[in-house]
């Protein structure tokens, strides 16, 4: 008789009771300022980890490990996890949590007590970013990490659902804005699903969304990233105006703005929300070229 194939038991993950117990042990009062909403549902963790499409060789950067819900899932899928946490109480507790839930994986975890907005050095070069991000700083954290750690090739982040839509928006859509264009400098972004509120403790008032990204080369341009981002900021600061008007301050006058736009091959009466990252790079380059020539 053929023995039925046994599926391995699922890796233990933190549930609602575990999260409450850990929080009580630490006397933790989750704060809104730090976006502390902890995942209490193992299936959501499995879904995030599966959506991240990690290879077994991966060193994952996790921002805000909190009580360790996602960290335990990531330790099962990747070679290593570097967890950056701003809250000293949570950062100090994490190694003990991993030691009791996944003792065989304790060596695979590095915990860094730091602000992900400012961190410049990590103990290892991360290859993927996977995080349930603190919502009020999600976009700057993603942009900052993509800029600082070029070894990050891909990632999956959970953010506010509306922010997920913005990050993945394409030119011409209503929600296309500064986060969409700046994120496109570094990577392609795609929405990977929506997550309800009741998988968190405490439950947030809004739904969350998953965004997956894959790094790509920035557009070929002689303009610097800072110069390109300055045009984007100017164009969206007055997004209802024509580019000629919106970029007047940035260029020095409406006439200079029109000249830069024409040199870049862009209609001066168009609005910023129809342009992709390559067009913004061309505008920045056209102004820099005019400054050099003139
Ligand atoms: N990963 C955990 C989970 O899924 O249950 C917690 C996610 S919770 C939404 C966000 C976490 O980010 C909290 O642990 C919070 O303390 C941490 N955090 C907030 N701001 C941060 C920052 N600037 N840098 C690093 N961690 C931060």
What does the domain layout of the chain look like in residue ranges? 16-215, 225-293
For residue 89, pLDDT over 80 is answered with: yes
Nearest-CA residue for ligand 1 atom 14 is 66
Per-chain mean pLDDT for the chain: 95
The domain defined by 225-293 folds into: Helicase, Ruva Protein; domain 3 (1.10.8)
Q: What is the pLDDT of residues 62-88, one digit of tens each?
A: 999 999 999 999 999 999 999 999 999
Distance CA 264, CA 6 (A): 62
pLDDT of residue 93: 98
Cβ–ligand 1 contact at 68 (below 6 Å)? no
pLDDT of residue 222: 95
pLDDT of residue 100: 95
Cβ–ligand 1 contact at 157 (below 6 Å)? no
Whether the domain at 16-215 and the domain at 225-293 fall into the same CATH topology = no
Cβ–ligand 1 contact at 64 (below 6 Å)? yes
For residue 293, pLDDT over 80 is answered with: no
Distance 65 CA to ligand 1 centre (A): 6
Cβ–ligand 1 contact at 70 (below 6 Å)? yes
Closest atom of ligand 1 to 64 CA is 12
pLDDT of residue 231: 98
Q: What is the mean pLDDT of residues 75-103?
A: 97
pLDDT of residue 120: 94
For residue 9, pLDDT over 90 is answered with: no
pLDDT of residue 265: 97
For residue 24, pLDDT over 80 is answered with: yes
CB 61 within 8 A of CB 152: yes
pLDDT of residue 287: 86
pLDDT of residue 5: 61
Contact residues for 152 (Cβ-Cβ < 8 A; gap 6+): 61, 126, 127, 128, 129, 145, 146, 215
Name the nearest CA neighbour of 210 among 138, 127, 115, 116: 138
Distance 31 CA to ligand 1 centre (A): 10
User: Pocket of ligand 1, candidates 18, 134, 205: which has the most ligand atoms within 8 Å of its Cβ, to mutate?
Assistant: 134
Distance 85 CA to ligand 1 centre (A): 6
For residue 251, pLDDT over 60 is answered with: yes
- Strand ranges in 120-271 using DSSP code E only, listed in sequence order: 128-132, 154-160, 187-195, 200-201, 208-215
Any idea which architecture 16-215 has in CATH? 3-Layer(aba) Sandwich (3.40)
Q: What is the pLDDT of residues 231-250, one digit of tens each?
A: 999 999 998 999 999 999 99
Q: What is the pLDDT of residues 107-124, one digit of tens each?
A: 999 999 999 999 999 999
pLDDT of residue 294: 53
For residue 187, pLDDT over 60 is answered with: yes
Cβ–ligand 1 contact at 211 (below 6 Å)? no
pLDDT of residue 239: 85
Q: What is the mean pLDDT of residues 193-207?
A: 97
For residue 99, pLDDT over 60 is answered with: yes
User: Pocket of ligand 1, candidates 64, 70, 74, 101: which has the most ligand atoms within 8 Å of its Cβ, to mutate?
Assistant: 64
Name the nearest CA neighbour of 101 among 57, 133, 65, 125: 65
Distance 241 CA to ligand 1 centre (A): 37
pLDDT of residue 4: 63
């Amino acid at each position: 008789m053929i023995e039925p194939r046994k599926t391995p038991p699922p890796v233990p993950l933190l549930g609602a009771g575990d999260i409450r117990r850990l929080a009580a042990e630490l006397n933790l009062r989750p704060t809104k300022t730090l976006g502390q909403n902890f995942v209490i549902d193992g299936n959501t963790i499995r879904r995030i980890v599966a959506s991240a499409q990690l290879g077994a060789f991966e060193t994952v950067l996790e921002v805000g490990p909190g009580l360790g819900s996602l960290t335990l899932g990531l330790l099962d899928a990747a070679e290593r996890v570097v967890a950056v946490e701003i809250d000293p109480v949570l950062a100090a507790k994490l190694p003990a949590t991993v030691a009791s839930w996944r003792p065989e994986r304790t060596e695979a975890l590095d915990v860094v007590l730091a602000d992900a907005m400012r961190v410049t050095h990590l103990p290892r070069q991360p290859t993927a970013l996977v995080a349930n991000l603190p919502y009020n700083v999600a976009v700057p954290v993603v942009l900052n990490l993509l800029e600082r750690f070029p070894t990050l090739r891909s990632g999956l982040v959970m953010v506010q659902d509306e922010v997920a839509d913005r990050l993945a928006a394409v030119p011409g859509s209503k929600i296309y804005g500064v986060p969409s264009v700046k994120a496109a400098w570094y990577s392609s972004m795609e929405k990977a699903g929506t997550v309800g509120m009741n998988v968190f403790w405490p439950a947030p008032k809004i739904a969350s969304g998953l965004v997956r990204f894959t790094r790509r080369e920035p557009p070929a341009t002689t303009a610097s990233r800072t110069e390109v981002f300055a045009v984007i900021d100017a164009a969206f600061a007055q997004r209802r105006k024509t580019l000629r008007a919106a970029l007047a301050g940035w260029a020095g006058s409406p006439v200079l703005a029109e000249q830069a736009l024409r040199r870049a091959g862009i209609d001066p009466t168009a609005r910023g929300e129809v342009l992709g990252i390559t067009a913004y790079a061309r505008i920045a380059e056209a102004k820099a070229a005019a400054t050099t020539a003139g």
